[in-house]
Each structure stands twice: as C-alpha cells, then as structure tokens.
Structure 1
Amino acid sequence: MGNEYLLPLSAAVGFVFFSAFLAFVWLRGQALVHYFEEQEFNTEAFFVWVIRKRAFDKRASWILIPSFVAWYATQRFLPDLINPQVLNPVFYGIIFIALVVGALSSYETTRAAGKYKDISARAKRIHFIFVALMGAYFATIFANQTGTEILFLTLAFLAFFQAPPLFIVAANFIIRPWENIREKRNLTQAKLKLSKLSPVIIAITGSHGKTMAKHLLTHILSANKPTLTTPDNVEGAQGICDTILQDLKNHHRYFVLEMEGHSLGIIKKLCQLAPPNLGIITSIALGQSKRLRTLERVFRANFELADDLMSRRERTILNTDAMPEDLLNTFTNKNPNVLFCGGEKSSFDLDIVLKKGVQGNHGLDLTLGLNQKGRQETLELQVPLYGLHNCYNIMLAVAAALELGQSTEVIQNALKTVPQIPHRLEVIQGVKGPTVIDDSYNTFPEGFQSALKVLSDLRKPKGRCILVTPGLVEMGTAHDAEHKKLGEMAGKHVDVALIIGPKRMSTFMSAFNSTKEKGAQLRTFDTQSDANDWIKQNADNNDIILFEASLPNLYDTRVKF
C-alpha cells in the first residue's frame, strides 16, 4: 500500500489537521510544565511524579490502538471489502479525532494545574522549546512514510502521544546552560545590590506560618520605615533575586523574606545570597516536606537559618511550642543567641510568653508577657485576624519588631490595622449572601482545627455551619490518624460537610459520622465545582461556609490524559 493511495489534503483540511496537532501539543505541554515547575525542574522528581500519577496518554492512544487492530483485521481477512483509497483517509480522520481528544483531556488537566500566566519565565521558555521539538517530530512522521504506511503512522503517533514528558525534560536540558548563566548573573547582581544598599534583612522559615509571620512583621515595620517583602509563595533563590533586582530601592530600610527548606542545603545557599540580620523559625512539622521524609531532617533543613545566624552572632527567634523539644534542646545547647517564644506551659526559659489568646467576632485579643533585655512587662494586643494558631505568628512578629527597636506603642497601633491575607483564614462578610471563611491555602492540621473553631464561633442565629474540603494533602503515614481527629472535631461543629474526593477521605467521613449532631449532613462530590454548585443552590444568607484546604498541592492533583 503506497503513497499513491493517500488522499490529497486540501489547504483547509491540512489547516484543520495542523490546528488539532497544535492544540494537543500546546495544551499537553502547558499542563506538564506546571508539574515540572512544581518539582523545581528536577528531572528525577518529575519522572517519579509521572509514574506515581500515571501521567501517560491514555485517551488518544486508546482511540488509535483499536482502530489499527480493525484496519489490520480488514486487510488480513477481508482485503477486498474496503477500498484502500477510502480506508486510508478514514485512518487519518481517526488520528485527527485522537489529537482532539488528547487536546481536550490536556485542557482539563491544565485547568486543574493553574493559569499559564502564573508560571515562571523559565517554565514558559521550556514550553516553547517543547512545542518546537514536538513540531519537529510531527514533521518527521510525514517526511518518513513507508510502504506500510498505516502501521508506521500508528507506531509513530503512539510514540507521539506518549513522548511529551520526555520532550519536556529534553527542552529543559537544551536551555539549562543558558539558564545556569542567567541564574549566576542574577545571583551576582543581587548580592552586589544588597551589599550596596545594606537593608536590614529578616529571614523567616518553618514548616508552616511563614507567610503570616512575614505579613505581620512587614506591616509593623512599615509603620515606621519603608519595608520590602518578597511576594507570597516566593521562597527560592531566583524569586528572591528577582525581588531584589526589580523592587529593592535606596529608601528601603528593611527587607523581609521567606525561605523554604524543602531540601537539605537550600536555606544555607539562600543565606549566602541574602545574609540575614535576624531570623524567625515558625514551626517544625513533617506534613509538607515530602522530600525530607523524617522530622529530624526537616529540623536540620530549617535550622540551617539558625546555623548561619549563629556563625555571624546574630539572633534567631523560635516558637518553642511548635518544635520537637529533644531536637530543640540539642540545638540550643550550642547556640545561646536564641530568643524563645511560647505558651505558659513551655519548658524553656521564655523571652516572650503567650499568656492569653481569645478569639471574638472581630478578631484576636492577646496578652503577651515580655522578658526581653532585662525588662518585664505585659503587652495587650487587638488584631483583626482569625484563628487561635495565629496568636503564635503574632507573638513571633512582635518579638522580631522589638528586637529591631520598635516601640510597644507602634506595635500595638500597627496590629490594630493589619489586613487579612487572601485565602488564609480570610473572613468575608458580605451585605448579602452567606459569610465565607476562605482558608484555601491551609496545609496543616492545627490550622484546620483553628478554622473549625472560627466557623463555630461565627455561627449566625438560625444559620448553618458548612464545611467544604478535599482534606489535607501530603500527610504521608499520618494521613488517616490526622483526618480521623479532624473528622471528629468537624462532627461537633459542622452542620453540613461537603467532601471533595471521598476515596481519600474515608477516615474523616467515618469520624464525622461518629460525632455529628442529629440532623447534620455529609455529602460527597468529585470536584470543587460540583460542591460550589450545591452551595449556590442550597446556602442562604444566615449560613457560614468554610472553604478549607481547597487548593490542594499540585503534586496531588488528579491527572487526566
């Protein structure tokens, strides 16, 4: 069967076929590059994700395989039944359908992965090279047709549909030398600019609470002096470099930044880029550190900040209530230059004590005991934020502000006007419609528990407390135990629980049903949008709705190829 049987494709048909190819390649690459960036462009981690999530093409490939089997059976057993001049164009039509289906499935995954404009410039460069590589492969298919054309096309397109993860990695390999040069140049320029402008650098790390502590401290410091901070979710070297090069100005007195210790050695390198004058470690927990695996390694990774500060005789501020005591004792025995914060039951000799934390309709009321620099006094604070766990973040920010010379009066007045952070226990009380508590970005059990308490405290007369959640991600072996505790607590506070993805939430649902009040409901949904539709149809103005952890980590998002 030779090329003489090919149907000459008109320009219109060729354009449509090429459009299907381009849609498939563009959308499949866009979806994959999101996940590749989530793995910080690490090839090994990306392939682990591909295997774990079975991110291989299924839908387009399963259209092609039965079609080839049918074609082969017809040629083998009924060779005179269908004219090849008809059969071959039909097969091209099947390839077109497979491309369209593959593009649509890629679009579904792309929507789950996030907006294209939110990915980094490097990810976009990888995407464009990926499209070029896939285009070259596509052109090669039609430039090398053989006498066994249908067989060749089937094998070639099966490889085409399965190749995108490999081509993403290949695109990254192609641009890596240029990226390395660019990164080194940016690092050098950022270090020079920091050295020249010499702002006071405050670095914040920890398993959770970093963004809130940064937000609070920046607000306090900005009341007196211009203060620059890294944008939310910017915790790596290149993001910090970009902030320094683009936003740091002569008038900035303070520079507050987050550092993410997801691997050993990362924070050490960040401290070489931006040597901090003061550090805060908010917490040590295993939940969000899938690469570190053990609590001891999480501790070591985050305490690289304290090690750097100790080497330069600078101070580290710690929340003793959110850290393993045995590991903390080992560290503090060799580092006396530490400022301890915690609750009254802490076994450490505290510099700042959380004496009282009360949550009301308008936020938090705190009482702190100050034992700094030879003085003992009580500090009363009113802060328009919600969640008792935020009392600790407020305490850490106050400790840092005092260490930097801010007066108690400035701190009190600043905290009275601190704005809420979007998606972090943000209470939205509209004139019409139900009250919404948006805690979508929460990733740890204590935050979930605190949000349930807020939900109950803000309950309206004759209104219902509604919980919407897919549960917490990346809890590892603690998943069932933690979700059992959360389910038991939710049963005591929630009237309607809307569970997204019920398969991974069985322990939560069983625990909820065991403690729920009479008349409480539990409903399950496959997607967030399905749960949102239920709310639109059933919630009324007196209800209060908690969206908890409803933006799960990209690593755990369902992939549909």
Structure 2
Amino acid sequence: MLVYITIIIAVIALVFEFRRQLMMLQQNSYRNDRYSRWLSTSQDSTSAMRLVSGAVLLASLSTLTPAIWISAGLICAVSLTNTIILARKKYKKPLVMTRRASRILLTMLLLAAIPTVICLFVCQAQGASLIFVADIILAAFCFSQSFALVANWLLKPVEANINRKYYQDAERILRGMPDLKIIGVTGSYGKTSTKHYLNRILSEKYDVMMTPGSFNTTMGVIRTVREYLKPYNEVFIVEMGAKQPGDIKEICDLVHPEIGIVTAVGEQHLESFKTIENVQRTKFELIDSLPTDGLAVVNNDFPFVANRKVDNVKCIRYAVSECGPAQYIAEDIRYSAHGTSFTVVTPTGEKFGFSTHLVGECNVSNLLAAIIVALRLEVPIEKISYAVNDIQQVEHRLNMKRTPGGVTIIDDAFNSNPTGSKMALDVLKMMTGGRRIIVTPGMIELGERQEELNAKFGEYIAGAADIAIIVGHYNREAIISGIKSTDTTSLDVHTVNSFSEAQQLLATTLKPGDTILYENDLPDTFK
C-alpha cells in the first residue's frame, strides 16, 4: 500500500513541477534559447529541492530489495515535501493556462508517462517491485526542464501551423475593414502609456480599439484582431514590441499601419539585441513600413531617434528636453501635488496649454506624441485638452497616489529602464514634504552593460532619495557600488531579499509626508 501511495504523491509532485517549468518557459516567450539561458543563470537545475530529490533517487536505486519500504518512505517524504512547497509558492506572474500551454503540459506528461508505463509493464512481467515506477517519476521530477524543452521543440511545427491559420484569419478581418485607420506605436519605453493616452484622446471623436494590456507581439495583435476588433471601429492602435530584429516588421506586414510613433530608442533588451544600433533598426521597422502618404511621429529627445534619417514618409519630430530641430515642443513644464501643466508649441508658433493628472517628463513626452497624432486626425483642440486633463494614470507606470496615512506612493514598477528610472527619480527628488524612499531591485535585460547601468542608477538614487531599499541579489552589488561612488553620506541603504521583506521594513519606518517610489518589479525568472 505504501508503494501505491508513494506513486500517487510522486505523480502529484511531478505535475506541480511541470507546471512551474511551463510557467518559466511561458515567461521566456516559449523560446527554448531564452529558457535555456534562464536555466543556466538561475541555478534552478541545482536547487535544494532538486538536489535532495536526486539524492533520494540515488539512494532508492542503490537500496537492496529487503529495504524497499525504506525507499518508498524516502520517495514519499520528498515528494510530499515538494508538493507542499510548490502548492504554497506564490508567483508574481503565475502560469496562464492558454491552449498552447495546455498542449505543452500534456506533451510533457505524455513524455513522462512513456517510460513510466514501460517500467510498470516490466515490473509486472518480472514480478519486480513497483518502487521502480516511483523512481522513474522522481527522475522525471529531477529532469523536468528537459521535458519542457523537448515538448516545446516537438510542438514547434504544430504551433507554426496553428499560428499560420490565426494569421490568415486576422488578415481576412482586416481586409474587410478598408477604412480602418491603423496607428502603430513602438519604442524602447513609453509605448504602452502613449497607446493609452492616444486611445483616450482619439475617443473624443472616433470609435477606437487598442491592443489590450501588453498584447504587443504578433500573436497578441492577431488575438486582438480576431477577438476584440469590431466592424464599427474607426481607429486601431497597435502597440508593437520586439525582442529581436524583424519582430516589428512581422506585425506591420499584418496590420499595415498608416501612422507610426517611435517613443524612444534606448538601452533596453540589450541581452537579445546586443547593440543599440540593432534596437534602432528594429524600432524603425515601423517607420520603414509606412505608406508614402503616411505619417511618422518620432521622439527627438533620444539620440538614436534624432540621428535616424526618415525620407520615405512625412516625419514630425517632437521633443521635451532636446528641442533642437523638433517641430513640436513641450515647454514650461510645471509639477504640483495635483499633476502637471505644460505648453505645446507647434511648427507655426501656436501655443496650447494643457493640464494633466500625470507626473514626470516621460509622461509629458508621451502625451505630446498623442496630441500630434490627434491633431493630424483633426480632433478639435478643446476636445484634446479635455481628454488630456481627464486621462487616468496607467497602472505601474509612474502612477501616483496618496494613502489615508499621508504617504505618497509613486508606482513605477513596470519594466524599468535607464531613461525611465532617471525620470522617476527626478519626480521623487521634487517631493520635499517628507523623506524620499525608493524600493527597487534594479534593471534587467541590459546585456553587457547590466552592471554599468545599474551602478549609474545607484548614483542617481544617491542624489534623489533619503532611504534606499535594494531588493534581491541580482543587481545589489552594482547599485550599492554606484551609491558608494558618490559623496552622499546621508542616504540610508537597506538590503532585503524580497518585496514582502521591503513591505515589512516600510511598515516600521513610514511617517506621514513620506514618499515611496517603487521602481521596477522583477519577474519570477530573476532573484
């Protein structure tokens, strides 16, 4: 009976572990190369849970027949422990059980079932103990990453065929809407906020659909077209993300945008792009795809946008800080506890004043891009002004709120980057009513410049905050070295292992009037 119970518990532990590995594969965009890189850097293959399970497996395989009950007991104990640990574990971005994820999980389980069933028949035929079946299941647990990699590889042609059918269906839908105005928005950062702001402003005149959430991949856009786009929509705003060259062109080949916005070209995703020149080429795939009667709207505040020549389509350049040859400029930017006021100067010299609940120069820049496109689409200026004043802050993107206890929270937890983090610190620096506190794990996906840019981030922290709480180990040394490189002696630095520990620390130190900046929140693939 103990052996049967052991097998059942081992199977449950294996399912939990397969789901965890599938979650990590999903967070790595179902790409085996990225998932393999995560495995090599995360030390997941040599985790304590896996090492203990491996030790129990070896002990079981070396145990003589009279000690089968000992083997069963050990496997049962370790499998039960693993099950409890995995069942209780909380994730920032849990597994989304899509149809693709379901197919991969089923394939993983089938791959594990093949040797298990063979072992079962062999044991029954030879009268051997079924403890060897439990050994096979525990071995699958120890090498669960291999099952994820193989299952994903085996299903690659299946997924390609399914995606091709979805792609063709989305093409058919778009062909049936020839009057639909399609606007593409891309950039190293700022594209999601710009998409939301543009959606709100254009809604004053048009029936608008935008890609929801972070549906900024080809499949995300396809899903939006097939499931959300309606025949009566007049404008379709498409956020376009990229992890490698060609990603944005692939989206453009599907939707054929007539207006393109490039919000930024910066040091983001350098781990996959390698150089900022590759980032530039990829972001400008949007502009290169525009028709001759289209419009490019690009942000000249970034050198690798300003130095990119655009001669295939009319190009409007805008700026907030590096005005230079920009045609549209935001000036007289003023912050208050209620938000921001600023003035937009047009190419003809006209000036329009705007007020918004948003804060930060980056948000003014994103609003400026949206205003330019709205003017192009003939939205009346009074409606634009009303919409800008009505725009709500996008969650986790320099979102400011006050607690009943008098503490101001600046939530900039989504996808931090060198430019955006500096802007967020500039906002924190202006908060002089109490202590200024930053909670951050630093920035990721910066390739060879990871340590350098996080050290620079530490220098900015030293000049803007009174208390710094550094979360996790991934960037801790780099950020602290940057802080120490400055002459600041008043900054109070704390290191914690998780955001929950940071919250516990804040609970004992916060006072009315304090301001907290949450800058980035690393996914489960980083420690």
TM-score by length of 2: 0.90
Aligned residue type for 2:226: L
Identify if the C-alpha distance between structure 1 residues 157 and 59 changes in structure 2 by more than 3 Å, giving closer, same or farther: farther
- In the TM superposition, residue 157 of structure 1 has moved relative to its aligned partner by 5.4
Aligned residue type for 1:22: V
Distance 2:494 2:406 in 1: 22
What does residue 93 of structure 2 align with? 114
Summarize deviations over 1:130-177 as a string: whole Å, max 9, x none: 234334443444433479979967974564233322222333345444
Give 1:363's match in structure 2, choosing from 333, 339, 348: 339
Summarize deviations over 1:433-467 as a string: whole Å, max 9, x none: 5222111104212221222222233343xx32221
Contact 2:269–2:445 (Cα < 8 Å) also in 1: yes
Identify if the C-alpha distance between structure 1 residues 151 and 125 changes in structure 2 by more than 3 Å, giving closer, same or farther: closer
Larger Rg: 1
SS of match in other structure, 1:542: coil
Give 2:189's match in structure 1, choosing from 197, 205, 208: 208
Distance 1:493 1:298 in 2: 29
Distance 1:505 1:271 in 2: 39
What does residue 243 of structure 2 align with? 262
- In the TM superposition, residue 402 of structure 1 has moved relative to its aligned partner by 1.1
What does residue 454 of structure 2 align with? 483
Summarize deviations over 1:241-289 as a string: whole Å, max 9, x none: 1111211112211111101122222211211211111010111113224
Identify if the C-alpha distance between structure 1 residues 526 and 170 changes in structure 2 by more than 3 Å, giving closer, same or farther: same
Higher alpha-carbon deviation: 431-440 or 133-142: 133-142
Distance 2:216 2:397 in 1: 17
Contact 1:39–1:46 (Cα < 8 Å) also in 2: yes
What does residue 91 of structure 1 align with? 71
What does residue 300 of structure 2 align with? 320
What does residue 470 of structure 1 align with? 441
5 Å-filtered alignment, 1:444-459, equals: 444-459=417-432
Does residue 1:419 correspond to 2:392, yes or no? yes
Give 1:40's match in structure 2, choosing from 15, 29, 37: 29
Contact 1:262–1:289 (Cα < 8 Å) also in 2: no
Aligned length: 524
What does residue 497 of structure 1 align with? 468
- In the TM superposition, residue 398 of structure 1 has moved relative to its aligned partner by 0.9
- In the TM superposition, residue 304 of structure 1 has moved relative to its aligned partner by 0.9
What does residue 5 of structure 1 align with? none
Distance 1:73 1:66 in 2: 11
Aligned residue type for 2:198: L
Contact 1:68–1:151 (Cα < 8 Å) also in 2: no
Higher alpha-carbon deviation: 128-137 or 511-520: 511-520
Contact 1:341–1:351 (Cα < 8 Å) also in 2: yes
- In the TM superposition, residue 499 of structure 1 has moved relative to its aligned partner by 0.9
Contact 2:242–2:248 (Cα < 8 Å) also in 1: yes
Contact 2:167–2:222 (Cα < 8 Å) also in 1: yes
Higher alpha-carbon deviation: 39-48 or 525-534: 39-48
Aligned residue type for 2:176: K
What does residue 306 of structure 1 align with? 287
What does residue 80 of structure 1 align with? none
Identify if the C-alpha distance between structure 1 residues 384 and 119 changes in structure 2 by more than 3 Å, giving closer, same or farther: farther
Contact 1:473–1:553 (Cα < 8 Å) also in 2: no
Distance 1:532 1:341 in 2: 40
What does residue 81 of structure 1 align with? none
Distance 1:159 1:292 in 2: 37
What does residue 548 of structure 1 align with? 519
- In the TM superposition, residue 53 of structure 1 has moved relative to its aligned partner by 2.4
What does residue 51 of structure 1 align with? 40
Does residue 1:166 correspond to 2:146, yes or no? yes
Distance 2:382 2:411 in 1: 31
Higher alpha-carbon deviation: 215-224 or 120-129: 120-129
What does residue 339 of structure 1 align with? 316
Distance 1:540 1:141 in 2: 63
SS of match in other structure, 1:197: coil
Contact 2:11–2:137 (Cα < 8 Å) also in 1: no
Structure 1 gap ranges (5+): 1-8, 76-83
**For the aligned residues, what is the CA RMSD?**
2.8
What does residue 182 of structure 1 align with? 162
SS of match in other structure, 1:215: helix
Identify if the C-alpha distance between structure 1 residues 287 and 544 changes in structure 2 by more than 3 Å, giving closer, same or farther: same
What does residue 408 of structure 2 align with? 435
Give 1:521's match in structure 2, choosing from 479, 488, 492: 492
What does residue 537 of structure 1 align with? 508
Contact 2:10–2:134 (Cα < 8 Å) also in 1: no
Distance 2:136 2:172 in 1: 52
Distance 1:428 1:343 in 2: 25
Distance 2:505 2:10 in 1: 37
Give 1:24's match in structure 2, choosing from 13, 20, 33: 13
Aligned residue type for 2:41: R
Give 1:144's match in structure 2, choosing from 122, 131, 151: 122
Identify if the C-alpha distance between structure 1 residues 479 and 52 changes in structure 2 by more than 3 Å, giving closer, same or farther: closer
Higher alpha-carbon deviation: 498-507 or 26-35: 498-507
SS of match in other structure, 1:208: coil
What does residue 128 of structure 1 align with? 106
Identity %: 24
- In the TM superposition, residue 321 of structure 1 has moved relative to its aligned partner by 1.2
Distance 1:252 1:231 in 2: 15
What does residue 176 of structure 2 align with? 196
- In the TM superposition, residue 484 of structure 1 has moved relative to its aligned partner by 2.8
Summarize deviations over 1:203-226 as a string: whole Å, max 9, x none: 101111100110110010011221
Identify if the C-alpha distance between structure 1 residues 64 and 143 changes in structure 2 by more than 3 Å, giving closer, same or farther: farther
TM-score by length of 1: 0.85
Summarize deviations over 1:299-349 as a string: whole Å, max 9, x none: 11111111110x543111100112426851xx32x435211112464443x
- In the TM superposition, residue 523 of structure 1 has moved relative to its aligned partner by 1.0
Does residue 1:251 correspond to 2:227, yes or no? no
Distance 1:120 1:66 in 2: 35
Distance 2:423 2:168 in 1: 43
